[in-house]
Chains A and B, each alone.
Chain A
Amino acid sequence: DVKVTQSSRYLVKRTGEKVFLECVQDMDHENMFWYRQDPGLGLRLIYFSYDVKMKEKGDIPEGYSVSREKKERFSLILESASTNQTSMYLCASSSPSSLPGEQFFGPGTRLTVL
């Protein structure tokens, strides 16, 4: 069974802290994505990566960075957390051999920044 896992389901951090969100997939997928989900705004793409050490900005990259050192792992970094980054963060992966719209999502990390 295919699997995308995220390091935490719930996380509480303080303003100004550096926050790492980890995502691991076991499907040998090349493409990985980070989204955030907020009420009334749907899912919005933050960053994606189509290969190790490659990254592309999504629609809302400000305040975030990413790291892809290994194929199976894609990390989202909040350099200095702010309260407006309180959100549900979702990681996804896909393979170039399947249609681009077929993505596999993790369970999500609900981040609260105080």
Chain B
Amino acid sequence: DAKTTQPTSMDCAEGRAANLPCNHSTISGNEYVYWYRQIHSQGPQYIIHGLKNNETNEMASLIITEDRKSSTLILPHATLRDTAVYYCIVRVAGGTSYGKLTFGQGTILTVHP
């Protein structure tokens, strides 16, 4: 699975959009981009995933560049409850490892009042 690079930490004002970048320059054509977050003292929570098109759900939007070497997770109106560690993961769709996920260090997002 491709390696990802994320900033260690970011800040955002409440009500503003939070844009979290992820670099995955070695991504292969059959690898998806997944985003998870982990709020303090809880297990990780799946947010969104994408292959090459931009995606949106009730939690966030995912923008993937045309060359697929990077992506951005967008929380359109950040709230204090969005303060968490955000993980960008690249994972092949199939394979024999039955969905093993490799979590890196992630980005600590702090939303300020």
Contact = CB atoms under 8 A, between A and B. Distances in A.
Interface residues of B, number: 25
Contacts of B98: 31, 48, 50, 56, 96, 100
B100 A108 contact: no
Interface of A: 4, 31, 33, 35, 40, 42-43, 45, 48, 50, 56, 58, 90-92, 94, 96, 99-108
A4 B43 contact: yes
A31 B42 contact: no
B68 interface: no
Contacts, number: 67
Main secondary structure of the interface of A (DSSP, over half): strand
16 contacts: A4-B43, A31-B98, A42-B103, A43-B44, A45-B101, A58-B100, A90-B44, A100-B91, A100-B92, A100-B100, A101-B32, A101-B34, A101-B89, A102-B34, A105-B43, A107-B42
B94 A100 contact: yes
A56 B43 CA distance: 22
A106 B94 contact: no
B46 A104 contact: yes
Interface in B28-77: 32, 34, 41-46, 49
B95 interface: yes
B105 interface: yes
Contacts of A96: 98
Contacts of B43: 4, 90-92, 105-108
